[in-house]
């Protein structure tokens, strides 16, 4: 048996690959769930189905998916053009810090001015954090994977430094910022914890989907990512596209950070460094670097995240089991995506000379 | 063929299938000691498949290989070497930074202590057998292509080699090196070695071969003694009565293809060309173009003019600045000094997109590097002109599709607009690139090796398009390593050597020999 590269992909193949990945994920995680003392089938039901059975559950899923929309889109846009931005985590935090700076500096602004200013500030924070790696890549050809990744812990340390220093809560003395003024609250939706950040995220998903699918820019981005040399040959300015996409990517991640502090926490806390940016890489990859894929996967991961909290209470499963589930899913999907380019061929019988 | 004794190597009923393609169909072929067998055929006729099977790189679905009458199993090149079969493929497999001796030691190295002295002596002995001196201590990456090929042949000879397989050995060589290679082959066969020789060039084959086998679409359609053969008949066998596989061409084109393939009227096409009027405007004007390099410039003060309505050929041995010239003209590599004008407008500092707009068309040797393989035929067709197909901010799928369908029709591309371009054959991919370049009515087309790797039918198609472009009043700069092609289609030929232009001849006066002297006679090429 050996693998042979396919020249054409049948239509059913991507769907079959995704289905195979899901089946493999269920099979692989059944063992650990059983070891943790729960029945796999009821556990899977808790993870995926239960959160969607109540209105409150659905709201929590939407809430959990919101930051992943931003970071997933940020990573997808960068990866598309072949700029491997692993720094959405740092850019997300930089956006949150920039928003906080605005909120703390101008507490008296009315909502109509405060929210746009804080959101734009957050986007600029993300852009600022993405600037240096993108600049180094463009001017000196320095690999962005390393620089964007290494700036993430720098952002975490900056966050902790600010919270333990100038932004320490004046009332409680805890390492959290003061609560933002009322003008800096994203409005809640459906009377739940879901906030207007979700709408911003959905608009961005729609805009990104249209740009990638239906504009010349989308075709150029794809060409630049798939074959930089051929794209350059055809007059596509690959370096420039990567540079701009890197900054847009940082801006989107920063906007995600702004949405999270303005919509959920209403203050800056250390708990914000919860890996939203890293999960964004998972979301983008699982979503096939498409905007709609990012939306679907963000919702799925939000679902599993909420389900994992429920499962830890109802089935006494460790809450990390949700992470195990999504991580295994990532591995199986990536494996399925690469295997689908090949077909398995039975080695032909030895014919020559018997 | 000898009677009685079994042939040195005998192939019986070799069959190999790739999916629905029958690459080799029950091929029976044999070679005797001391014989040169030439294998001829269009691209995709099955020559390479057959030799790969013979060398153990690929396995036949059916059939057997006999050596001196004994059936053998060939599962890897090691088996082939053990059976006395050596092969030199088109891609060399030498380690650049190592010396000749070290490279040869790698090939046959047993475990244990390395005996450099003995290895060096073996290299010298083998090069004596070849009849061409090879410096055992030379570093491979500093050798010329011809010298590297000699090292490859030495590598194949090192074992107890009785049959040497050469896959298009002359494709990369200058005429002088071809002569040396043929002398070596004659020397080896005089010693009793058998040689299987793949080539596209009939006149070479007539010189060298004792027997000629012609493959077409996987089948052996002729197996004849070379003496007194009729080249036109052989060419007809190669392409088949029904015309080349890749394109259904009118009869006169096929006749022309046959004539070109046998080198009978190679110069005839240019005779039809009108003498170029010096007063015509310059389509492309290159002045003092220089590209710095270490230790010497890769392009050195290159100046040339292509006038509207003429084809200027650039001859040269591979690696003498052609790639750099094309890259500097296309704008993918910025030149260190000099200017480039297209249709009178300076494009020197401009990027690719601006050069395209100025009227520059390109057709490069690297077809697969000129298209985005992951995209469809239609997307590749419009990639250079996306903004032309915009409705408001959006790309109009309908207009892209219509444009692609029109080009597919006009250029006879055998594909649907939505097909992945990766699935196209070389000839069809070249048609896509031609369509993309010509559709813009370029002032000047820079074409680099536009027919490399294409079969006779597809080559003729490219020539027809280039001539039509010239006759329509555009300039063409044709960079090629195939002298017959240049002499056949260009109006003037300039010669590039060591990054400098070393000469210019009118195509009507050009001969392979004269060009060969120019190509090799400069300060650069001292083998």
Supply the pLDDT for residue B277: 60
- Is A107 in the same domain as A88? yes
Q: Under an 8 A CB cutoff, do B61 and A351 touch?
A: yes
Asked if the structure places residue A246 within a domain, the reply is yes
Which positions in chain A touch B60 (Cβ < 8 Å)?
A: 351-352
Percent pLDDT > 70 in chain A is 94
Show the domain range for A6: 1-36+318-354
Query: What mean pLDDT is reported for chain A?
Result: 88
Asked if the structure places residue A45 within a domain, the reply is no
Asked if the structure places residue A50 within a domain, the reply is no
pLDDT at position A6 over 80? no
Asked if the structure places residue A42 within a domain, the reply is no
Tell me how far apart the alpha carbons of residues A230 and B368 are, in angstroms, rounded to a whole number: 8
Asked if the structure places residue A207 within a domain, the reply is yes
- Is A130 in the same domain as A250? yes
Supply the pLDDT for residue A348: 53
State whether residue B65 sits within 8 Å of chain A by CB. Answer: yes
Asked if the structure places residue A43 within a domain, the reply is no
Supply the pLDDT for residue B270: 39
Tell me how far apart the alpha carbons of residues B508 and B194 are, in angstroms, rounded to a whole number: 39
Q: Under an 8 A CB cutoff, do B383 and A215 touch?
A: no
Taking CA–CA distances from B437, the nearest residue in chain A reads A234
Torsion of CA A74, A77, A82, A88, to 10 degrees: 0
pLDDT in tens, A200-224: 999 999 999 999 988 999 999 999 9
pLDDT in tens, B342-366: 988 899 888 888 899 899 999 887 7
- Is A179 in the same domain as A268? yes
Question: Average pLDDT in the B154-173 region?
Answer: 83
CATH number of the domain that residue A188 is part of = 1.10.3470
Phi, psi values for residue B464, rounded to 5°: -60, -45
| Of the candidate ranges A54-63, B63-72, B92-101, the one whose mean pLDDT is the lowest | B92-101
SS3 B126: helix
Closest CA–CA distance from residue B244 to any residue of chain A (Å): 24
- Is A85 in the same domain as A108? yes
Closest CA to A52 of A276, A304, A294, A322: A304
Chain Cα centroid distance, residue B284: 26
State whether residue B351 sits within 8 Å of chain A by CB. Answer: yes
Name the band, by pLDDT with cuts 50, 70 and 90, for residue B52. confident
pLDDT in tens, B254-280: 444 444 444 433 333 433 444 556 678
pLDDT at position B238 over 60? yes
Name the band, by pLDDT with cuts 50, 70 and 90, for residue B468. very high
Asked if the structure places residue A102 within a domain, the reply is yes
- Is A8 in the same domain as A70? no
Taking CA–CA distances from B354, the nearest residue in chain A reads A235
Query: What mean pLDDT is reported for chain B?
Result: 81
Q: Under an 8 A CB cutoff, do B65 and A232 touch?
A: no
User: Does residue A282 contact residue A86 with C-beta atoms inside 8 Å?
Assistant: no
pLDDT in tens, B407-416: 998 888 888 8
- Is A265 in the same domain as A322? no
- Is A226 in the same domain as A248? yes
Question: Average pLDDT in the A130-155 region?
Answer: 93
* Domains along chain B with CATH numbers: 9-241 (3.40.50.300), 264-359+440-527 (3.40.50.300), 372-439 (no CATH)
- Is A263 in the same domain as A132? yes
Which of B74, B363, B372 should be substituted to probe chain A, the one whose Cβ sees the most A Cβ atoms within 10 Å? Answer: B372
User: Does residue A151 contact residue A90 with C-beta atoms inside 8 Å?
Assistant: yes
Closest CA–CA distance from residue B275 to any residue of chain A (Å): 34
Closest CA–CA distance from residue A77 to any residue of chain B (Å): 18
- Maximum pairwise Cα distance, chain B: 80
Strands (E), B258-406: 282-291, 299-307, 311-315, 337-342, 345-346, 360-363, 390-391, 394-395
Q: Number of residue pairs across A and B with CB atoms under 8 Å?
A: 101
Count of domains observed in chain A? 2
Cis peptide before B295 (omega within 30 of 0): yes
Q: Give the DSSP letter of residue B326.
A: H
Which positions in chain A touch B384 (Cβ < 8 Å)?
A: 234-235
Asked if the structure places residue A49 within a domain, the reply is no
Tell me how far apart the alpha carbons of residues B494 and B503 are, in angstroms, rounded to a whole number: 6
């Amino acid at each position: 048996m050996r693998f042979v590269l396919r020249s054409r992909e049948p239509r059913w193949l991507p769907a079959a690959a995704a289905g195979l990945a899901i089946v493999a994920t269920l099979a692989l995680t059944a063992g650990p769930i059983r070891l943790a003392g729960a029945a796999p089938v009821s556990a899977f039901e808790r993870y995926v189905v239960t959160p969607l059975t109540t209105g409150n559950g659905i709201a929590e899923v939407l809430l959990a998916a919101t930051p992943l929309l931003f970071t997933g889109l940020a990573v997808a846009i960068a990866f598309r053009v072949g700029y491997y931005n692993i720094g959405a985590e740092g850019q997300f935090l930089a956006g949150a810090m920039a928003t906080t700076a605005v909120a703390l500096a101008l507490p008296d602004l009315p909502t109509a001015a405060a929210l746009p200013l804080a959101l734009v500030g957050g986007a600029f924070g993300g852009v600022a954090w993405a600037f240096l790696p993108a600049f180094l890549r463009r001017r000196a050809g320095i690999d962005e994977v390393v620089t964007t990744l290494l700036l993430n812990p720098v952002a975490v340390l900056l966050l902790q430094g600010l919270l333990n220093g100038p932004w320490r809560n004046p009332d409680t003395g805890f390492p959290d910022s003061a609560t933002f003024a009322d003008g800096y609250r994203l409005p809640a939706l459906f009377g739940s914890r879901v906030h207007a950040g979700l709408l911003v995220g959905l608009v961005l998903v729609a805009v990104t989907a249209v740009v990638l699918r239906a504009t010349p820019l989308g075709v150029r981005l794809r060409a630049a990512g798939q074959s930089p040399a051929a794209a350059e040959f055809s007059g596509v300015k690959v370096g420039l596209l990567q540079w701009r996409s890197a900054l847009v990517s940082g801006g989107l991640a920063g906007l995600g950070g702004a949405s999270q502090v303005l919509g959920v926490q209403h203050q800056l806390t250390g708990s914000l460094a919860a890996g939203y940016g890293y999960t964004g890489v998972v979301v983008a990859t699982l979503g096939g670097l498409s905007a709609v894929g990012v939306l679907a996967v963000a919702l799925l991961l939000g679902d599993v995240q909420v389900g994992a909290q429920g499962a830890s209470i109802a089935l006494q499963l460790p809450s990390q089991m949700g992470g195990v589930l999504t991580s295994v899913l990532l591995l199986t999907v990536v494996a399925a995506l690469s295997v689908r380019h090949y077909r398995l061929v039975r080695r032909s019988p030895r014919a020559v000379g018997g | 063929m000898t009677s009685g004794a079994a042939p040195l190597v005998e192939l019986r009923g070799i069959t190999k299938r790739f999916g629905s393609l029958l690459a080799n169909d029950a091929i029976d072929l044999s070679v005797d000691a001391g014989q040169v067998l030439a294998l001829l055929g269009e691209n995709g006729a099955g020559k390479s498949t057959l030799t790969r099977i013979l060398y153990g790189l690929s396995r036949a679905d059916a059939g057997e290989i006999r050596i001196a009458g004994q059936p053998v199993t060939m599962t890897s090149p090691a088996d082939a070497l053990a059976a006395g079969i050596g092969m030199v493929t088109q891609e060399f497999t030498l380690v650049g930074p190592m010396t000749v001796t070290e490279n040869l030691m790698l090939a046959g190295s047993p475990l244990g202590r390395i005996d450099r002295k003995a290895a060096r002596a073996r290299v010298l002995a083998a090069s004596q057998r070849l009849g061409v001196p090879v410096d055992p201590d030379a570093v491979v990456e500093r050798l010329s292509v011809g010298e590297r090929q000699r090292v490859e042949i030495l590598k194949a000879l090192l074992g107890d080699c009785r049959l040497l397989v050469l896959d298009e050995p002359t494709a990369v060589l200058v005429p002088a090196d071809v002569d040396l290679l043929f002398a070596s082959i004659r020397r080896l066969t005089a010693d009793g070695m058998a040689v299987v020789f793949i080539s596209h060039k009939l006149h070479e084959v007539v010189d060298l071969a004792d027997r000629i086998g012609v493959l077409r679409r996987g089948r052996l359609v002729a197996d004849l003694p070379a003496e007194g053969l009729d080249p036109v008949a052989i060419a007809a066998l190669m392409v088949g009565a029904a015309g080349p596989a890749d394109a259904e061409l009118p009869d006169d084109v096929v006749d022309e293809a046959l004539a070109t393939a046998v080198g009978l009227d190679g110069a005839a096409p240019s005779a039809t060309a009108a003498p170029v009027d010096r007063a015509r405007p310059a389509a492309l004007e290159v002045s003092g173009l220089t590209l710095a390099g270490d230790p010497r410039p890769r392009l050195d003060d290159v100046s040339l003019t292509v006038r509207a309505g003429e084809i200027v050929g650039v001859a040269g041995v591979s690696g003498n600045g052609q790639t750099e010239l094309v890259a500097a003209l296309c704008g993918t590599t910025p030149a260190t000094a000099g200017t480039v004008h297209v249709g009178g407008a300076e494009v020197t500092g401009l990027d690719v997109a601006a050069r395209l707009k100025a009227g520059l068309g390109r057709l490069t040797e690297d077809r697969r590097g000129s298209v985005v393989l992951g995209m469809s035929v239609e997307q590749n067709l419009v990639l250079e002109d996306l903004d032309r197909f915009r409705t408001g901010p959006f790309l109009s799928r309908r207009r892209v599709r219509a444009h692609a369908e029109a080009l597919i029709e006009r250029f006879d591309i055998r594909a649907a607009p939505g097909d992945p371009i990766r699935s196209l054959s070389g000839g069809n991919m070249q048609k896509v690139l031609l369509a993309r370049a010509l559709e813009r009515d370029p002032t000047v087309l820079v074409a680099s090796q536009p027919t490399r790797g294409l079969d006779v039918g597809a080559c003729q198609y490219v020539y027809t398009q280039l001539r039509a472009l010239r006759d329509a009043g555009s300039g063409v700069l044709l960079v090629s390593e195939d002298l017959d092609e240049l002499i056949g289609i260009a109006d003037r030929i300039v010669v590039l050597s060591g990054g400098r232009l070393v000469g210019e001849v009118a195509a009507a006066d050009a001969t392979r020999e004269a060009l060969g002297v120019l190509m090799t006679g400069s300060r650069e090429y001292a083998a």
